[in-house]
Homo-oligomer: A and B are copies of this chain.
Amino acid sequence: MLADMPPRSSRATMKDVAALARVSPKTVSNVVTGSAQVSEPTRQRVEDAMRQLDFVPNLSARTLRNGRTGIIGVALPDLATAFSATLAHEVVDVAHRRGLAVQIEETAAEPEREYELVSRARTHLIDGLILNPVRLEDSVIEQVDHLPPVVLIGEVEQHLTDRVFVESRAAAREITTHVVGRGARRIAVLGGATDGRDGKATSGLRLQGYLEALRAAGLEADPRLQIQLPEWTIAGAAAGMEELLAREVSFDAVVTFTDTIAFGALHVLRRRGIRVPEDVLLTGFDDVEHAAFTNPPLTTIAFDHRDYAVAALDLLAARLDDRRRETTARTIPHRLIARESTGRPGTTPRGHRPD
Question: Which A positions have Cβ atoms within 8 angstroms of B?
Answer: 8-9, 11, 54, 56-61, 63-64, 69, 71, 78-80, 82, 84-86, 88-89, 92-93, 96, 99, 101-106, 109, 114, 117, 120-125, 145-146, 233-235, 238, 263-264, 266-267, 270-271, 289-290, 293-295, 297, 323
Contact = CB atoms under 8 A, between A and B. Distances in A.
B289 A267 contact: no
12 contacts: A11-B124, A60-B61, A61-B64, A64-B64, A71-B125, A79-B86, A85-B88, A89-B106, A96-B117, A101-B105, A235-B289, A267-B294
A246 to B, nearest CB: 19
Interface centre among A60, A93, A103, A122 (most CB of B within 10 A): A60
Chain A interface SS verdict (over half): helix
A295 B295 contact: yes
A122 B267 contact: no
Contacts of A263: 290, 293
B69 A58 contact: no
Contact of A145 (B8, B79, B121, B123): B8
A323 B103 CA distance: 25
A94 to B, nearest CB: 10
A73 to B, nearest CB: 9
Given A60-B60, A63-B60, A293-B234, A106 B101 contact: no
Given A60-B125, A234-B293, A267-B297, 15 more contacts: A56-B120, A57-B124, A59-B122, A79-B85, A79-B92, A88-B88, A92-B105, A93-B109, A96-B105, A96-B106, A101-B122, A102-B104, A103-B104, A263-B290, A266-B295
Nearest to A73: B101
A238 B292 CA distance: 11
Contacts of A106: 89, 92-93, 96
A39 B272 CA distance: 68
Contact of A59 (B124, B238, B293, B323): B124
